[in-house]
Structure 1
Amino acid sequence: MTFETSGLHHVTAIGGDPQGNAEFYLRTLGLRLVKTTVNFDDPGTYHLYYGDGSGRPGTLLTFFPWRDAPSGRRGIGQATTTAFSVPEASIGWWERHLRERGVQTSRVVNRDAEDVLTLRDPDGLALALVAHPQGDPRDPWDNGHVPAEHAIRGLHSVTLSVSREDATAGMLTEGLGLSFSERDGNRFRFQAGAGGPGALVDVLVTPDAPHGLVAAGTVHHVAWRTPDEDTQAAWREELVDRGVQVTSVLDRQYFRSIYFREPAGTLLEVATDEPGFAIDEPLLELGRALKLPPWLEPNREQIAAALPKLDLPSENNPESRS
């Protein structure tokens, strides 16, 4: 394997009502909406990007929210849990905060020396908050609802559900350059580089589970980082030479992407770190206005009219909290 990812870039999921989605991720989880755009392949729905203050790779959970989308089914061939990293001493605070917000959670469990609190978003998407004992140096977004000392630092890991681990493990190690880290029963952990929050994936072997159905409340795909377009192009060529069916390079405006599936069926992406979310609006105004790529801009009036109304909480903008 010539190329190695440095970690997670983003996770994209299917949501339901976009207003409820924004309220939960901005006010309950305390993330920032860093881009309000549309699904470039289906501009009849939003594409909402949540992350830290600037939307750095490794902090992003994004959504295609269809208001009338049917519920999906978690299962084999999917990323079945998306985990965020929080400070080690903050799990108790999050338990109280979520309870006050009416969100049901699991009891805190300790797994691989990390405290884990699981929950679901309004559409049933499985989430976890994980406190890593060595901490997480990434700066948080402070939106007023979640104090900075407790705030989410970014993605921690994803869990892929499979019926057997060998073929998926081969794709992770030989296709993405990850290395096997440890095993805990039927859970196999792989890491990018030295590992740690934002560079982890767990492969959960559940042979009796049903196959997943991608719809509301499930993950659509998992994206991994590559530094630039030249590396991505060479990486794509290597994957194709290995017999992997890979898309052409697609322009996602804020990064470039290629897509392919791991053997169990989960859709994976390799996305560039650049150019980032500040290319079409100032950093202080991220997420405030509907942004469209140049090829959709001529149809702005029709696209905007077809989208449901979305009222963003004022605290998404830094100047409103000063």
Structure 2
Amino acid sequence: MTHPGIHHVTAIAGPVRRNHDFYTRVLGLRLVKKTVNFDDPGTYHLYFGNEQGEPGTILTFFPWEHVAPGRIGVGETLETAFRVPEAALGFWVQRLVAAAVPHEAIVKRFGESVLAFTDPDGMKLALVGVAGSEAEPAWSVDDIGPEAAIRGFHAVTLLVADTAPTAGILTDVLGFRESGREGTTVRLKAGDTAVGGIVDLRGAGDFLRGRPGGGSVHHIAFRAADDAEQAQMVRKLADRHGITTTEQRDRNYFRSVYFREPGGVLFEIATDVPGFAVDEPVAALGEALKLPALLEGRRGQLEAVLPAVA
């Protein structure tokens, strides 16, 4: 595989303005695309990431104003963790305190310092201090300088009854390899991919199953360089694991297929191409409402019902 790893993470949120303010103003991510849920176009689909919206940095949301809260459980993402320079964790503790963001004390996991916290919808997040990450590209704004800014994803933690079947898909199809174990957690690494290169699998046995809703992750997307690499992965899923994906769906900025992995988590395989600058220049990413061609005729209707983002 060219660049294995996480492409993006998609979650469910409540009020869109609250969601936008938290991720752009508190965490300092860039809104790189403002579009709609192609399957429910009366709802936004917001994409946050680094300056150019590179794979491995993109956290996306379906914000529904009156969504019921989700429940963490087996078959869902337990935590989404971002990378920051190791020396920046003190800055982030002070920032979370100042913004009254619920957070935990810094702990060590796999030898790394981890600051766990939650967003306004209760989504479990973390910042991981990573030595050397200060050399990675960053989007810095206002009072979050390049020495502290988020670099992209570090890891996602999936809660599954049994780690082995999910690990089988990650290693045989998606380009990961086991790199360590700590307690009930198995760490898998995507080659030498830094940003978005880790999936942690936490075995939970017969724990309660999750329920989707506000604060829960809808799906995890993994990278394929292009259509050919994606098709090869689809064939491997079918031939070696008996798993059938959806047909390919054009999401304008990438092309996707979806499937449920054995642990129940919804996985997506998304192409790196064409990227987020396909319909607006990098300097203007996220400024205008972008619609797919099939919805352009409904622009006036949709703009009338969609709430203000900021």
Q: Normalised by the size of structure 1, how large is the TM-score?
A: 0.93
* Alignment check: 8 A CA contact 1:9 1:223 kept: yes
Partner of 2:115: 117
* Alignment check: 8 A CA contact 2:13 2:214 kept: yes
Deviation larger for 228-237 or 40-49: 228-237
One-letter code aligned to 2:54: R
Unaligned runs of 5+ in 1: 312-322
One-letter code aligned to 1:227: A
Unaligned runs of 5+ in 2: none
Partner of 1:317: none
Partner of 2:46: 48
Partner of 1:292: 291
One-letter code aligned to 1:229: D
Q: Distance in 1 between matches of 2:66 and 2:60?
A: 18
* Alignment check: 8 A CA contact 2:156 2:199 kept: yes
**Of 218, 221, 229, the match for 1:220:** 218
Task: Give secondary structure in 1 for the equivalent of 2:154.
Answer: strand
Partner of 2:83: 85
Structure 1 segments (4+ residues) deviating >6 Å: none
Deviation of 1:137 (Å): 3.4
Residue by residue over 1:241-288, the C-alpha shift from the partner in whole angstroms, topping out at 9 and shown as x without a partner, is 231120111100000111111111100111111111111112111111
* Alignment check: 8 A CA contact 2:5 2:175 kept: no
Gap change, CA 1:250 and 1:152, over 3 Å in 2: same
Deviation larger for 236-245 or 19-28: 236-245
The reply on whether 1:131 has 2:129 as its aligned counterpart is yes
Q: Distance in 2 between matches of 1:200 and 1:54?
A: 21
Task: Give secondary structure in 2 for the equivalent of 1:295.
Answer: helix
Task: Give secondary structure in 2 for the equivalent of 1:287.
Answer: coil
For residues 224-239 of structure 1, the aligned pairs below 5 Å read 224-239=222-237
Deviation larger for 68-77 or 137-146: 137-146
One-letter code aligned to 1:22: H
Task: Give secondary structure in 2 for the equivalent of 1:24.
Answer: helix
Q: Distance in 2 between matches of 1:134 and 1:213?
A: 37
* Alignment check: 8 A CA contact 1:5 1:178 kept: no
Partner of 1:257: 256
Deviation of 1:223 (Å): 0.6
**Of 158, 163, 166, the match for 1:165:** 163
Deviation of 1:169 (Å): 1.4
**Of 68, 73, 76, the match for 1:70:** 68
One-letter code aligned to 1:298: G
One-letter code aligned to 1:245: T
* Alignment check: 8 A CA contact 2:107 2:113 kept: yes
Partner of 2:22: 24
* Alignment check: 8 A CA contact 1:114 1:133 kept: no
Q: Distance in 2 between matches of 1:234 and 1:192?
A: 17
Superposed CA RMSD? 1.3
Residue by residue over 1:187-234, the C-alpha shift from the partner in whole angstroms, topping out at 9 and shown as x without a partner, is 100011135442000001122431011111000000111111121122
* Alignment check: 8 A CA contact 2:4 2:174 kept: no
Task: Give secondary structure in 2 for the equivalent of 1:64.
Answer: strand
Partner of 2:142: 144
